[in-house]
Structure 1
Amino acid sequence: MPSPAKRAAGALALALWLGLVAGCSDDPGLALGEERIDPEEAALERAMTARILEIGQRHRAAGEAIPRFNQPKTVACARATFEIPPHTGELARGLFAEPGEYAALLRFANATRQDDREKDLRGLSVRLAGVKGAEGVDGTRGRQDFLFNSHPALFAGTPEDFHRFVSAVADDRLWWYFLNPLAPQPKSLWIALRARSQPDSPLAIGYYSTTPYRYGDDETSAVKYAVRPCDGTGGAAANGDGADGDDPDYLRHAMAAQLAEGEACLTFMVQFQTDPDSMPIEDASVTWDEDASPFRPVARLTLPPQEIDDPDALARCESLVFNPWNTHPAHRPLGGINRLRRDIYQAAGELRTTHNATLSAPETP
Structure 2
Amino acid sequence: MPDFVRYAPDLESAQPDERETIEGLKAQFGKIIDTTLADYGRGVRAVHAKAHGIARGTLTILGDLPPELAQGLFAHGGRYEAMLRFSTNPGDILDDAIALPRGLALKVLGVEGERLPGSERDTTQDFVMVNAPAFIAKDAAQFLGNLKLLAKTTDRAEGGKKLLSATLRGVEAGLEAVGLESATLKSMGGAPQVHPLGQTYFSQTAFRYGDRVAKFQIRPVAPALLALHDAHVDTKGRPDAIREDVDAALSRHGGTWELRVQLCTDVAAMPVEDATVEWDQGASPYRTVALIDVPAQPGWDTERQALDEALAFSPWHGLAAHQPLGNINRARRESYRYSADRRRGANGCPLHEPLPD
Secondary structure of the structure 1 residue equivalent to 2:113: coil
How far, CA to CA, are the matches of 1:238 and 1:284 in structure 2?
A: 25
Aligned to 2:106: 126
Identity %: 33
- Report the structure number with the largest CA radius of gyration: 1
Secondary structure of the structure 2 residue equivalent to 1:146: strand
Aligned to 1:205: 199
Alignment CA distance shift 1:31-1:313 (3 Å): closer
Aligned to 2:17: 40
Displacement of 1:340 in angstroms is 0.4
Alignment CA distance shift 1:273-1:91 (3 Å): same
Aligned pairs for 1:85-234 (under 5 A) are 85-86=62-63, 87-112=65-90, 114-133=94-113, 135=115, 137-172=118-153, 190-194=182-186, 196-199=191-194, 201-216=195-210, 218=211, 221-231=212-222
Secondary structure of the structure 2 residue equivalent to 1:227: strand
Displacement of 1:207 in angstroms is 0.4
Secondary structure of the structure 1 residue equivalent to 2:11: coil
Q: Which moved more, 1:242-251 or 1:81-90?
A: 242-251
Q: 2:288 aligns with which of 276, 287, 297?
A: 297
Alignment CA distance shift 1:60-1:35 (3 Å): same
Structure 1 counterpart of 2:138, one-letter code: G
Aligned residues: 310
| Kept after mapping to 1: 8 A contact 2:119/2:318 | no
| Kept after mapping to 2: 8 A contact 1:31/1:276 | no
**TM-score of the pair, normalised by structure 1:** 0.77
Query: Structure 2 regions of 5+ residues with no counterpart?
Result: 1-6, 157-180, 350-357
How far, CA to CA, are the matches of 1:168 and 1:55 in structure 2?
A: 11
1:272-313: CA deviations, max 9, x gaps? Answer: 111212211111111112122111110000001112221231
Structure 2 counterpart of 1:78, one-letter code: A
Structure 1 counterpart of 2:82, one-letter code: A
Secondary structure of the structure 2 residue equivalent to 1:39: coil
Aligned to 1:342: 333
How far, CA to CA, are the matches of 1:323 and 1:288 in structure 2?
A: 22
| Kept after mapping to 2: 8 A contact 1:150/1:207 | yes
1:169-200: CA deviations, max 9, x gaps? Answer: 334499xxxxxxxxxxxxxx93222562211x
How far, CA to CA, are the matches of 1:172 and 1:203 in structure 2?
A: 28
How far, CA to CA, are the matches of 2:215 and 2:209 in structure 1?
A: 9
Secondary structure of the structure 1 residue equivalent to 2:182: helix
1:240-267: CA deviations, max 9, x gaps? Answer: 3342533332322222222323331011
Aligned to 1:262: 253
Alignment CA distance shift 1:171-1:253 (3 Å): closer
How far, CA to CA, are the matches of 2:32 and 2:247 in structure 1?
A: 33
| CA RMSD after TM alignment | 2.8
Aligned to 2:33: 56
Secondary structure of the structure 2 residue equivalent to 1:76: strand
Aligned to 1:75: 52
Aligned to 1:6: none
| Kept after mapping to 2: 8 A contact 1:212/1:224 | yes
How far, CA to CA, are the matches of 1:269 and 1:327 in structure 2?
A: 17
Runs of 4+ in 1 over 6 A off after TM superposition: 30-33, 232-235
| Kept after mapping to 1: 8 A contact 2:37/2:44 | no
Aligned to 2:172: none
Query: Structure 1 regions of 5+ residues with no counterpart?
Result: 1-29, 175-188, 359-365
Matched, 1:286 2:277: yes
Q: Which moved more, 1:64-73 or 1:103-112?
A: 64-73
Secondary structure of the structure 2 residue equivalent to 1:302: strand
How far, CA to CA, are the matches of 1:62 and 1:246 in structure 2?
A: 22
**TM-score of the pair, normalised by structure 2:** 0.79
Structure 1 counterpart of 2:44, one-letter code: P
How far, CA to CA, are the matches of 2:16 and 2:225 in structure 1?
A: 39
Aligned to 1:246: 237
| Kept after mapping to 2: 8 A contact 1:33/1:222 | no
Structure 2 counterpart of 1:191, one-letter code: A
